[in-house]
Structure 1
């Protein structure tokens, strides 16, 4: 058992002193103290997970955790220990959170701009406490009921209760308090003190020891081929130019298994990727390691990208170079990438006073695969909000298709399973800096019993005219290879040590 050398008297003493003072009369207060650097994913692993709710929500009818609040009224929600994690692609910031001090559900796409902009305004209106505050946001791929996971709903934006932040300057521990009234202020401080006291600073050296069940696909290959045949008919008829078809690959895990340890290994295998995890109130955990940026906004400067077109990595440097050159010159992959580029430029162009993209595509290399990419950057028109940007960009043709509406309807009608948060969005939202990853290369972990879990992993690929079903199925396997090989390696290692 290892104990993290973190002590919180400065933070707790500050909170106790604030109990004697009136509310500041601002929406949110963020209070922090510096702490020693520690492994944030290991820290999250040993915090108490939410308990499954006694009365689970009925299928396809998710209930938000708290209703939309009037513009000038904040209400304290019951404290919980829901965990979430975020690390940006450049490793400039790493965030681990426990609980939520405020949240606003996003029931459908229509409410998306309001929810994102509400979170920004809460922080903006908090005066001196606004500088370091940030909210987190998740969105599903689609808001159609049959495509949404009830435990998560379509989306949510929230302020954490407890936040550990690691940057190149060091680490801080912070708490967020709602502060518009004296009654709310007092109850918030009491809640924060209880959650700080409940934090576990001891990290075990326990190792995984588990056995995997067989992989089961949804859809199976025959169903995928039928869906692809329908897609090619629609493409040939000119109904759409591209559609992204995906599948889940599920396995049972019997024994001791930590998704946080898997996520750490996944991050090391693909270091230039976004890393994320978000926990539902019933304990379901969605997590992943994605190479794809939806957007990064600093002030009025925005960066995004067209990431589409895939090839495997080679087993030698020479083979890898040959595969890279083939990808760079492959007409089908170039066409797919250009469709994504055009759609993003069209949607983003009306929101920007200037917008430019790379003159030619480049290659992004991951452990098992490589992608074509165009980088896109611009300066936003004055007054453009994060809500408008999310509504314009999500989902991009890299995960849905083009035209967006036709491709999404095709997926919803024919793909055959609920994508949920796969191919959705996760990231941070704040007045100065908002950054969002596209949640591909991801998985969902559910607890089936005390010693049995189910892990579903998700992959997808773009279908255009000329796509081949056998090659596309192989591509899905290639995209799964990194994380599944990590699972298998840890399984075999645990048996070797037993």
Structure 2
């Protein structure tokens, strides 16, 4: 069955899950077991659209061709608030200990634990990582439907899980159409933005502060709730070469986006990361692109902004690594609407360090917070008039000696009939409020086009240079 779950597939999966849960086990410690069946001819995102009443998540990597769509929860590591990652370390460490390769928890972490929490982020918490009950994984080797169970805990609900597998046999649903936006508002507005940027520029002149990444929240109202899966499906089409993600802990409340920026990828002891900073809009021709690239390499302001990220990345990874190598000079990252400077790093992690050690070392990077980090965070807490929540925080997945995280930027939060869009820009010596306002507009243009913000007459001032 194309894009649907066949009777044969569900019957095979039920038999495998029954076998896992009926196996005798003398241990009282929880362990994760996985049953999987082939699932060819399936679009993971279209499959995910079939389950609007479930907790859902989606992840597709930028470079490695892995695509995952998942529903339900076999286990959830969640904290409504936290001061650090100790609880996450303990929870994931216990559950992943002794697991087979390929078991993964998917989720994200708040940008800043110290920032006051706003209600729209309640379902996401300080962190939330989910071992899905059901996931469709597609890679170069094929597509598999997986069911994760926790033994012995799930033995008591084996019949329910088997019924849930049976319920996967549903007709394929088409992607829903999106409603047209009716109004929007910026936070901060242009006047307040100018005031905040000028304050930061004065602070850069008279203190040891070098860079602050300031963000904008654009709230868009709709006459009816937009379907997050449709938004993501269209975003994939206009934002290639990005990490695409969606986390929907409760139906109708979803954080999603298309991030160009890898925080890090780990396989065994090998770690990859990158410094992405310095931006120009794409031109209308190859010739204009080349002119923008020349501007990037020739701009002292853009080079300075990139160097802060580059230096910090190398220093933080060096503390954890036995070996580090980084590009001698930045190269160009071309996206659909912008061009960035990028410097790539590779390292060999020392034996005693974990994926969460790497994550803590790298977040928040100067690419999303500023430099020095502590000073920049103080400014963001005092001056930004909204809660970033998961925006610019790490999003991705973690398994046994493997992980991949992106910065949760170029993103938005769907809450019923409201969607909040987020993007930011690095303020350094040489920045101007108008140029940075235009830059954050370019960075969120992928989502703005999907939501039809340019075409709507109500959005006449939603224009970007």
- Whether the TM-score (by the shorter chain) exceeds 0.5 is yes
> Aligned with 1:228: secondary structure?
helix
Q: Does 1:487 align with 2:459?
A: no
Aligned with 2:147 (options 164, 171, 175): 175
Aligned with 1:124 (options 97, 100, 103): 97
Aligned to 2:246: 277
Aligned with 1:186 (options 127, 130, 155): 155
Give the C-alpha shift of residue 419 in structure 1: 0.6
| Cα pair 1:35 1:172 within 8 Å, conserved | yes
Aligned to 1:472: 436
Distance 1:86 1:247, change over 3 A: same
**1:376-391 aligned within 5 A:** 376-391=345-360
Counterpart Cα distance in 2 of 1:158 and 1:3: 24
Counterpart Cα distance in 2 of 1:459 and 1:411: 14
Give the C-alpha shift of residue 292 in structure 1: 0.3
> Aligned with 1:100: secondary structure?
coil
Distance 1:157 1:330, change over 3 A: same
| Cα pair 1:327 1:372 within 8 Å, conserved | yes
Aligned with 2:423 (options 453, 456, 459): 459
* Structure 1 stretch displaced more, 475-484 or 143-152: 143-152
Pairs aligned (count): 450
Which ranges of structure 2 fall in alignment gaps of 5 or more residues?
Answer: 457-465
Aligned to 1:252: 221
Distance 1:46 1:302, change over 3 A: same
Give the C-alpha shift of residue 116 in structure 1: 4.1
| Cα pair 1:116 1:386 within 8 Å, conserved | no
Counterpart Cα distance in 2 of 1:150 and 1:281: 11
Aligned to 1:96: 69
> Aligned with 1:337: secondary structure?
helix
> Aligned with 1:370: secondary structure?
strand
> Aligned with 1:373: secondary structure?
strand
Which ranges of structure 1 fall in alignment gaps of 5 or more residues?
Answer: 50-80, 448-452, 493-498
Distance 1:156 1:366, change over 3 A: same
Counterpart Cα distance in 2 of 1:18 and 1:301: 33
Aligned with 1:37 (options 29, 38, 41): 41
Once the two structures are superposed, residues 159-178 of structure 1 have per-residue CA deviations (whole angstroms, 9 ceiling, x without a partner) of 11111111111111111111
Counterpart Cα distance in 1 of 2:186 and 2:281: 21
What TM-score does the superposition give when structure 1 sets the normalisation length? Answer: 0.85
Aligned to 2:12: 10
Once the two structures are superposed, residues 89-109 of structure 1 have per-residue CA deviations (whole angstroms, 9 ceiling, x without a partner) of 114211111121112224556
Counterpart Cα distance in 2 of 1:210 and 1:258: 9
Counterpart Cα distance in 1 of 2:287 and 2:26: 64
Aligned to 1:220: 189
| Cα pair 2:49 2:173 within 8 Å, conserved | no
**1:379-418 aligned within 5 A:** 379-418=348-387
Counterpart Cα distance in 2 of 1:199 and 1:239: 57
> Aligned with 1:138: secondary structure?
strand
Counterpart Cα distance in 2 of 1:93 and 1:3: 18
Counterpart Cα distance in 2 of 1:162 and 1:23: 23
Q: Does 1:87 align with 2:87?
A: no
Once the two structures are superposed, residues 257-287 of structure 1 have per-residue CA deviations (whole angstroms, 9 ceiling, x without a partner) of 4322221222122221101000123631000
Counterpart Cα distance in 2 of 1:358 and 1:144: 34
> What is the RMSD of the two structures over their aligned residues, measured on CA atoms?
2.2
Q: Does 1:136 align with 2:109?
A: no
> Aligned with 2:279: secondary structure?
strand
